[in-house]
């Protein structure tokens, strides 16, 4: 795991170009403290900060050169051992045991199609001096970031915003459309748009080829939401378990110590249980953040159930103090490069800090399963709408009853879910997102729809999950995962986002994933023997809960409310913003998430003025 940066610019000589490249790399030194490398050929400059994980030798440092090919790469190719053996059989020779060399040799053998063979996470730039082409690629889900700016034939790229700010191509003009999405929808990015007009994002599952100043971008992988499995449920359970354990084994490949985050939820509990049991002879460290104040969520009882089931687990716990919160908020906004849409990233900041204090460089984490196994509560109205469209009245009524029982909902809450199910019967995901966006009273009334989502075939649940993965949810969660981990020079791996596991997940029916109101049904049943009974039986969905929006904003962060009321932003209805803040100060929590987003936007705008 590393940080990459580079540019193509005829305006630089070797010395001046190397100076700029050094400045760019300095801003992301946290991503790779183990070594720094710079390379130049004509107008092409490539730079790399290395976090050594696989093959710790200097021979595996980057930029990595193999004849006329030159590579800077951030990520891990988890099936690199299998690919290396395949390439050796084809006659290619290797001088290192790194996945970096496997990547560059794969390009030599298969060209741009090589990425279709990779299982892993990556963002890379590869210069072919023979063809004069720069080939860039990003993994299927966008686990690793890739940002760029283009101005005619001039081009620069990096793992974060910060290096791009050191180039002459950067302008700090905010992207107001993305600011609106961030405030109303909580998205940290959208398709190829960033928080600055000039900075673009290479989308997940896309390649880019730059030839003589011309850019070609194309998608190399996608999900077929209509292909469904003919297996029975028992066979599906076994296949899901097989693919999950395969992913855990490959994600556990490392030449440094491996550990895991442990929240007590289904996902992290399954990962810890599997990793610990696959390597029973090794001590496996886990890390948990908790809050134990009045009204706070404390999930240690579930984490401890996992620990009790796995004697080789060595647990560590930490509860952040209020006195640490403000400093942490500013650090998170600095490393994120964007306003943060909730307080959970601050808890993850403390989590990664604790992990680094124990000299851990690689952790497993549970991001990704909710987005294709129907882990979110918002699945319910889509599932019910699908049942209605198929005239399955019995399933509709029974599911509502189970949801009410599992979550202890009032009649009003149940009626709200039922009402939203009728809405989903007639509106697609793009219309739903724009409806949510237009509900805002503090954005300009003449604003246009800012969300465009491609129509997906298959069920409403399939369409919902597809867009969670590629457009509306996962990209923000992965941004959080990358920035919090890399701030402390930690590689975070997400085994639920193995593309083979996910492709299988989309062959499942609605009921395989969301069975009569029970979320992630295939995961619960397929991994039942790995999970403690207490975790297996959980029906609630806590997420990474913190007391931030309701407690910290009335405590250590309270003074920012006054600052916001004094501020003036011409792209917002400030009278309404001030009214919302006043209602919050009088004790209303109705718009608490929005107040938090306004606060972090205010801080971000001051930092980027």
Q: What's the pLDDT score for residue 146?
A: 98
Tokens of 171: 């302008």
Which is nearest to 187 in space by CA: 201, 208, 198, 206? Answer: 201
Peptide bond connecting 63 to the previous residue in cis, omega within 30 degrees of 0: yes
How far apart, in whole angstroms, are the C-alpha atoms of residue 98 and residue 84? 10
pTM: 0.96
Q: Which residues 6+ apart lie within 8 Å of 419 measured at CB?
A: none
The single residue listed with the structure tokens 């066979």 is 235
Q: What's the pLDDT score for residue 544?
A: 56
Render pLDDT for 33-48 as a digit per residue (tens, 0 to 9).
999 999 999 999 999 9
Q: Please give the span between the terminal C-alpha atoms of the chain, in angstroms, as a whole number.
A: 31
Render pLDDT for 255-298 as a digit per residue (tens, 0 to 9).
999 999 999 999 999 999 999 999 999 999 999 999 987 667 78
Q: Residue 406 — very low, low, confident or very high, per pLDDT cuts 50/70/90?
A: confident
Cα angle 318-321-325, degrees, rounded to a multiple of 5: 115
Q: Which residues 6+ apart lie within 8 Å of 349 measured at CB?
A: 328, 331, 332, 484, 487
How far apart, in whole angstroms, are the C-alpha atoms of residue 209 and residue 323? 48
CATH number 3.60.20.10 is the correct assignment for the domain at 2-175+191-219: yes
Alpha helices in 264-299 (DSSP H): 266-278
CATH number 3.40.50.620 is the correct assignment for the domain at 233-372+473-536: yes
List, by residue range, all CATH 3.40.50.620 domains of the chain: 233-372+473-536
DSSP labels, 146-183? -EEEEETTEEEEESSHHHHTTSTT----B-HHHHHHHH
List, by residue range, all CATH 3.60.20.10 domains of the chain: 2-175+191-219
For residues 526-562, one letter each, b for 16 or more C-beta atoms within 10 angstroms of the residue's C-beta and e for the rest, the string is bbeebbbebbbebeeeeebbbbbbbbbbbebbeebbe
Tokens of 119: 């299982």
pLDDT averaged over every residue in the chain: 95
Checking if the pLDDT of 363 tops 60, the result is yes
Render pLDDT for 423-482 as a digit per residue (tens, 0 to 9).
999 999 999 999 888 888 777 765 667 899 999 999 999 999 999 999 999 999 999 999
How far apart, in whole angstroms, are the C-alpha atoms of residue 607 and residue 131? 42
How far apart, in whole angstroms, are the C-alpha atoms of residue 376 and residue 405? 17
The single residue listed with the structure tokens 């199609």 is 113
Q: How far is CA 170 from CA 24, 151, 167, 481, in A?
A: 12, 10, 6, 25
Which is nearest to 51 in space by CA: 101, 119, 100? Answer: 100
Alpha helices in 559-591 (DSSP H): 559-566, 574-585
């Amino acid at each position: 795991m590393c940080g990459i940066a580079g540019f193509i610019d005829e305006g630089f000589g070797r010395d001046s170009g190397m100076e700029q490249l050094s400045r760019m790399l300095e801003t992301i030194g946290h991503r790779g403290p183990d070594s720094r490398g710079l390379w130049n050929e004509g107008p092409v400059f490539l730079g790399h900060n290395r976090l050594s994980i696989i093959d710790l030798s200097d021979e595996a440092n980057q930029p990595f050169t193999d004849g006329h090919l030159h590579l800077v790469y951030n990520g891990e190719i988890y099936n690199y051992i299998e690919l290396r053996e395949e390439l050796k059989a084809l006659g290619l020779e290797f001088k290192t045991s790194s996945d970096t060399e496997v990547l560059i040799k794969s390009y030599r053998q298969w060209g741009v199609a090589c990425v279709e063979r990779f299982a892993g996470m990556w963002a890379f730039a590869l210069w072919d001096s023979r063809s004069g082409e720069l080939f860039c690629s990003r993994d299927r889900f966008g686990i690793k970031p890739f940002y760029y700016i283009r101005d005619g034939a001039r081009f620069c790229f990096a793992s974060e915003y910060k290096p791009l700010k050191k180039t002459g191509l950067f302008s700090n003009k905010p992207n107001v459309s993305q600011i609106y999405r961030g405030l109303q929808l909580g998205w940290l990015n959208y398709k190829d748009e960033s928080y600055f007009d000039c900075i673009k994002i290479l989308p997940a599952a896309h390649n880019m080829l730059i030839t003589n100043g011309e850019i070609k971008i194309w998608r190399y992988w996608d999900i077929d939401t209509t292909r469904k499995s003919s297996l029975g449920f028992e066979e599906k359970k076994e296949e899901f378990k097989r693919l999950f354990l395969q992913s855990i084994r490959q994600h556990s490949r490392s030449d440094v110590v491996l550990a895991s985050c442990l929240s007590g939820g289904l996902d992290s509990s399954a990962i810890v249980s599997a990793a610990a049991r696959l390597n029973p002879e090794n001590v496996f460290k886990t890390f948990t953040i908790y809050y134990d104040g009045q009204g706070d969520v404390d999930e240690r009882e579930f984490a401890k159930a996992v620990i009790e089931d796995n004697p080789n687990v060595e647990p560590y716990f930490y509860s952040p103090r209020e006195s640490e919160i403000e400093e942490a908020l500013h650090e998170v906004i600095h490393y994120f490069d964007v306003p943060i849409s909730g307080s959970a990233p601050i808890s993850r900041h403390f989590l990664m800090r604790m992990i680094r204090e124990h000299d851990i460089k690689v952790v497993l984490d549970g991001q990704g399963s909710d987005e294709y196994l129907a882990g979110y509560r918002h699945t319910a109205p889509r599932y019910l709408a699908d049942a209605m469209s198929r005239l399955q009245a019995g399933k509709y009524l029974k599911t509502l009853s189970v949801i009410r029982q599992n979550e202890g909902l009032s009649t009003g809450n149940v009626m709200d879910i039922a009402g939203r199910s009728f809405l989903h019967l007639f509106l697609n995901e793009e219309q739903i997102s724009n409806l949510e966006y237009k509900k805002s009273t503090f954005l300009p009334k003449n604003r246009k729809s800012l969300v465009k989502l491609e129509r997906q075939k298959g069920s409403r649940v399939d369409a919902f999950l597809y867009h969670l993965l590629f457009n509306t949810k996962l990209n923000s969660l992965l941004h959080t995962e990358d920035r919090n981990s890399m701030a402390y020079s930690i590689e975070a791996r997400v085994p639920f986002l193995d593309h083979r596991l996910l492709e299988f997940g989309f062959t499942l029916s609605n009921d395989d994933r969301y069975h009569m109101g029970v979320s992630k049904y295939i995961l619960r049943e397929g991994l039942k023997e790995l999970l403690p009974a207490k975790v297996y039986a959980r029906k609630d969905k806590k997420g990474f809960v913190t007391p931030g929006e309701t407690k910290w904003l009335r405590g250590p962060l309270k003074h920012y409310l006054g600052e916001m009321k004094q501020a003036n932003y011409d792209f917002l209805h400030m009278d309404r913003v001030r009214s919302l803040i006043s209602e919050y100060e009088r004790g209303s929590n109705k718009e608490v998430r929005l107040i938090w987003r306004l606060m972090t936007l205010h801080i971000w705008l001051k930092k980027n003025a």
